[in-house]
Structure 1
Amino acid sequence: MTSDRRPLVLVVEDETLLREMIAFEFEMSGFEVVDAGSAEEALRRLKDIPVLDLLFTDIRLPGMDGWSLATEVRSQRPDAPVIYASGNAERQQLLPRSEFIPKPYRPEEIFQVAADLGVDVPNIPME
């Protein structure tokens, strides 16, 4: 990054407690976090995000699923890397600059995948 701006992640997870835990981990690692409980909410919130550094989305969401959300986000933000997460979804064809991680996962796994996708992760927690 060329500025003092913190990288921004959009976290989409319908389970409130899990979404809050993921958001907390990203915040503790130096990210600015915008979170949403559904794909539709995420798309509404995306309109107010000037630069999206990472989309982290559950695959199984109420309404639009995470696969469709990522496709829609990419139509608006072609360069945004995507991390898909799920405990029980069928893995589909991944978009470029995206990766799938199975639940359960450890925070350091998320950040390592983000770094591998080219995201400037300020503080990667160690195991």
Structure 2
Amino acid sequence: MSTDRRPVVLVVEDEPLLREMIAFEFELSGFEVVDAGSAEEALQRLTQMQILDLLFTDIRLPGMDGWSLATEVRALHADAPVIYASGNAERQELLPRSEFVQKPYRPQQIFEVAAGLGVDLPQAPME
């Protein structure tokens, strides 16, 4: 990356173990991770964040879904890329600078998608 700042990713996943695994992979790759178990919790955390470099969200969440969350996030961080993840949700029209990954996915796949969306990866992720 061109600065000393670590990129910030907001990980939203309602399954605690999966959320921890995703957060761990991002941390290993040099990201600063903020995580949440619901869209509502994510929006609360987002109000305290000055910078957001990437939103990684499950689509099927309790309460507000990932599609709606991404729209809300873009109202606060217009340029933040979005990666939607789901094992069985129907795809909707994607926002600009967003992509969909099908569960199950490999961590390397997430980073390839993030790089394709223009996210500066702080270091090469391990396979």
Q: Same fold (TM over 0.5)?
A: yes
Partner of 1:62: 62
Show structure 2 runs of 5+ residues with no match.
none
3-state SS, counterpart of residue 26 of structure 1? helix
- Deviating beyond 3 angstroms after TM superposition, the runs of 4 or more aligned structure 1 residues are none
Partner of 1:117: 117
Show structure 1 runs of 5+ residues with no match.
none
3-state SS, counterpart of residue 45 of structure 2? helix
TM-score by length of structure 1 reads 0.97
What's the CA shift string for 1:40-78, capped at 9, x where partnerless?
Answer: 000000011111000000000000000000000001110
TM-score by length of structure 2 reads 0.97
When the two chains are superposed, the root-mean-square deviation of aligned CA atoms in Å is 0.9
Amino acid in the other structure paired with 2:108: E
3-state SS, counterpart of residue 85 of structure 2? strand
3-state SS, counterpart of residue 3 of structure 1? coil
Is the contact made by 1:112 and 1:124 (CA closer than 8 Å) also made in structure 2?
Answer: no
Aligned residues: 127
Distance 1:125 1:3 in 2: 18
3-state SS, counterpart of residue 42 of structure 2? helix
3-state SS, counterpart of residue 10 of structure 2? strand
State the shift of 1:117 in Å: 0.2
Distance 1:23 1:82 in 2: 15
Distance 2:124 2:86 in 1: 22
Matched, 1:87 2:91: no
Partner of 2:47: 47
Distance 2:61 2:124 in 1: 27
Partner of 2:15: 15
State the shift of 1:124 in Å: 3.0
